[in-house]
Amino acid sequence: MPLPFLPVCRADMDERGWQELDFVFVSGDAYVDHPSFAAALLGRWLEMHGYKVGIIAQPDWHTTDAFTVLGRPRLAFLVSAGAMDSMVSNYTANNKPRSSDAYAHGGESGHRPDRALIAYTAKIREAYKGVPVLIGGIEASLRRMAHYDYWSNTVRRSILLDSKADILMYGMGEHSILELAARLKEMADALPEGQYLTSKDAASIHGVRGTCWRTGRAADLPDASKACVRLPSYEAVSAQTDEGRAAYAESYLLQEANTDAISAHILIEQTEQRFVVQEPPALPLTTEEMDAVHEMAYTRRWHPMYDKPAANGQTGVPGLAEVQFSLTSCRGCFGACSFCAITFHQGKRIQTRSADSLVKEAEKLSHLPDFKGYIHDVGGPTANFRHDACKKQATKGACTDRECLGANPCPAVQVDHTEYLGILRRIRKIPGVKKVFVRSGIRFDYLMLDKDKTFFRELCEHHISGQLKVAPEHVSDSVLKLVRKSSHKVYEDFAAEYAKINRELGMKQYLVPYYIAGLPGAGLDEAIEVALYLKKTGFVPDQVQDFYPTPGNLATCMYYTGLNPHERDADGRMKAIYVPRGAHERRLQRALLQFNKPDNRKLVVEALEKAGRRDLLKKLL
């Protein structure tokens, strides 16, 4: 009998003989039963632990009817905006509406509301007054405390307060969701027959790692015996003054220093007369737990309801294509790029699956009817990270006072590609597998620290096809330092070694570097520096990414405050940095990075004149 999808309607519940569900998972994504989609992964995880779970995928938030199709859950609604923050999903870096959504039926836009957690929770409460609501996912995780919101250009309160949810889960949710489920079940089992848990019951749950809770009573706060850190208040960090921006940056530093499960303290933030309390992060999954999560039974398909054409005539869910024949090898990232929120969400500790589990999954993929012989990726946030950055992290957690890589790599960093290379070798020997690609990010600076070039050589020989995409981001060392990337010389050394290995292999393969325009610390002079380098190398990118100030990362903190929280002047004040603002300046910088496009000529001339570099007109144009 084929594996059934999780219920999406009453008929599905009837087929299983279920009168009610324990949890209803409301997701901003279409329902794809694949471990890369949180609703499927956490839904199956709860199912495996004995809970009845159904999914309401991309409900129409204009009506309560869409939220009642599975009835009132016995324990709680679980609400997520989906794989992306809903504002990032709906708008480009220049705040223009997106024309498509890879996680929606047919790729259509418009199926996910702005600020989805707030919209969904409001309708759930309208449908079922007082029902417990737990929020999670990337939108909840990165907005768990007061945060700069690019789309409104304001500092918003914790989304736990704005959504009026009962509990917020942050980070990866396997541990916290099981503990919350057990606590809710214990409460529900003690109720008289016919009674349901209330919002007040759920909100009373404290002390669960990886969660935030709220209270209006100072007496409810953790007692003095627990290690707690008080963040600057919302009123302090949202003040539109120099002092307010400095307070915001101080708050960010405190939060950043408390993202490791071993060393983190409880954080408390006050907003008017209310408090948001952040428990320490959930402990990382063990290898055995990571294996179990990914080895659960999944159909690995979008739900059959998406086989019918959407309004745009397209079928299916486009987001499945990139991950359908890919393997998740790891979680977490100690690279800590300042414009990335992975460390704020998943942490710096590397969590990995076993080689046997990855090989087993690859073998399973090789027997699927649509498999053409290509494993699209074996990786994660950073493909070539397979263990902690150093031995100390396992017992003391990640350092709070220095970075593992960046401009000055820590001498304690352990560099070893042996295990990852062994996994790739085993997978490419599986019958029916023609090629194993590595498409998720490679940290080339980490790769260059490896004196053994075996992995580098086999990467070129077996695991790319014509081109390797890497992310130097910029060429100015002052900008690279701010974004916690290695110096430009490291990239040049990497490019030279890449060319050398391919010559030795007799292969014609290219590097495709990604660059970001408008990063904090980057003015027109720094953009011109990139343009001159691109002119010298003869490579001008087809696409340039604009810096996107999204919640939960250091670069967004710098964008909003104009300060570098990690550098102080002689008086102990944070150093001011230049921040490019406004759509026009961003267009000027992007045009410089694509100076050879005829459409950009006028902007390039304007940028050079504005920078006092008319001497470069002939060179670039």
DSSP string, 503-571: HHHT---EEEEEEEES-TT--HHHHHHHHHHHHHHT---S--EEP---TTSHHHHHHHHSEEEEEE-TT
Distance CA 401, CA 257 (A): 8
For residue 240, the tally of other CB atoms under 10 A from its CB is 8
Condensed to tens digits (0 to 9), the pLDDT of residues 396-416 reads 999 988 899 988 999 999 999
C-alpha torsion 189→192→195→200, nearest 10: -70
Which tokens hold the place of 503?
């010559």
Nearest to 115 by CA among 186, 38, 155, 61: 61
Distance CA 505, CA 468 (A): 15
Radius of gyration of the chain from its Cα atoms, rounded to whole angstroms: 25
Distance CA 478, CA 488 (A): 10
Query: Is residue 160 predicted with pLDDT exceeding 90?
Result: yes
Residue-averaged pLDDT of the chain:
95
Condensed to tens digits (0 to 9), the pLDDT of residues 442-455 reads 999 999 999 999 99
Give pLDDT, residue 214. Answer: 97
Q: Are 201 and 185 in contact (CB under 8 A)?
A: no
Give pLDDT, residue 318. Answer: 97
Q: Which long-range contacts (CB under 8 A, 24 or more apart) does 476-482 make?
A: 476/522, 476/526, 476/529, 476/530, 477/407, 478/521, 478/526, 479/519, 479/521, 479/522, 479/526, 480/407, 481/406, 481/407, 482/338, 482/519, 482/520, 482/521, 482/555, 482/558, 482/564, 482/577
Query: Is residue 613 predicted with pLDDT exceeding 90?
Result: yes
**Residue in the block written with tokens 């070694």:** 497
The rounded percent of the chain whose pLDDT value lies above 90 is 92
Q: Which helix (H) or strand (E) holds 307?
A: none
As a residue count, the chain comes to 621
Condensed to tens digits (0 to 9), the pLDDT of residues 486-507 reads 999 999 999 999 999 999 999 9
Condensed to tens digits (0 to 9), the pLDDT of residues 310-355 reads 999 999 999 999 899 999 999 999 998 999 999 889 999 999 999 9
Q: Are 172 and 285 in contact (CB under 8 A)?
A: yes
Query: Is residue 431 predicted with pLDDT exceeding 80?
Result: yes
Which tokens hold the place of 582?
């406004």
Query: Is residue 609 predicted with pLDDT exceeding 80?
Result: yes
CATH for the 10-218 domain, from 3.40.50.280, 2.40.110.10, 3.30.420.40, 3.40.50.300: 3.40.50.280
Distance CA 314, CA 222 (A): 52
Distance CA 160, CA 211 (A): 11
In order of 108, 472, 496, 503, the CA distances from 493 in angstroms are: 43, 12, 5, 15
Give pLDDT, residue 210. Answer: 98
Condensed to tens digits (0 to 9), the pLDDT of residues 538-572 reads 988 888 999 999 999 999 999 999 999 999 998 88
Distance CA 101, CA 112 (A): 9
Angle at 156 between CA 153 and CA 159, to 5 degrees: 135
The rounded percent of the chain whose pLDDT value lies above 70 is 100
- pLDDT tier, 579 (very low <50, low <70, confident <90, very high otherwise): very high
In order of 37, 517, 540, the CA distances from 523 in angstroms are: 38, 9, 19
Domain boundaries, the chain: 10-218, 325-465, 494-621
Nearest to 104 by CA among 89, 120, 91, 115: 89
Condensed to tens digits (0 to 9), the pLDDT of residues 214-258 reads 999 999 999 877 789 999 999 999 999 999 999 999 999 999 999
Q: Hey, what amino acid is at 604?
A: V
Give pLDDT, residue 124. Answer: 98
Q: Which helix (H) or strand (E) holds 57?
A: strand 53-57
Condensed to tens digits (0 to 9), the pLDDT of residues 162-189 reads 999 999 999 999 999 999 999 999 999 9
Give pLDDT, residue 621. Answer: 84
Which tokens hold the place of 272?
């008017």
Rounded average pLDDT over 366-371: 94
Distance CA 575, CA 517 (A): 22
- pLDDT tier, 465 (very low <50, low <70, confident <90, very high otherwise): confident
For residue 250, the tally of other CB atoms under 10 A from its CB is 18
**How far from each other are the two terminal CA atoms of the chain, in whole angstroms?**
65
Give pLDDT, residue 401. Answer: 83
Distance CA 74, CA 88 (A): 33
Give pLDDT, residue 548. Answer: 96
Give pLDDT, residue 288. Answer: 98
Give pLDDT, residue 323. Answer: 95
Top CATH class, 325-465:
alpha beta
What b/e readout covers 180-206, taking b as 16+ CB neighbours within 10 angstroms? bbebbbebbeeeeeeebbbbebbbebe
- pLDDT tier, 440 (very low <50, low <70, confident <90, very high otherwise): confident
C-alpha torsion 191→197→202→203, nearest 10: -100
Check for a shared fold between 10-218 and 325-465.
Answer: no
Distance CA 107, CA 324 (A): 16
Pairing of strands 133-136, 167-169: parallel
Query: CB burial class (10 A; 0-12, 13-18, 19+) of residue 313?
Result: exposed
Which tokens hold the place of 170?
């942050």
Give pLDDT, residue 599. Answer: 94
Give pLDDT, residue 425. Answer: 98
Rounded average pLDDT over 265-289: 97
Q: Are 316 and 302 in contact (CB under 8 A)?
A: yes
Q: Are 530 and 592 in contact (CB under 8 A)?
A: yes
Give pLDDT, residue 205. Answer: 98
Half-sphere exposure of 601 (CA within 13 A, CB side): 4
Q: Hey, what amino acid is at 518?
A: G
Q: Which helix (H) or strand (E) holds 270?
A: strand 266-271
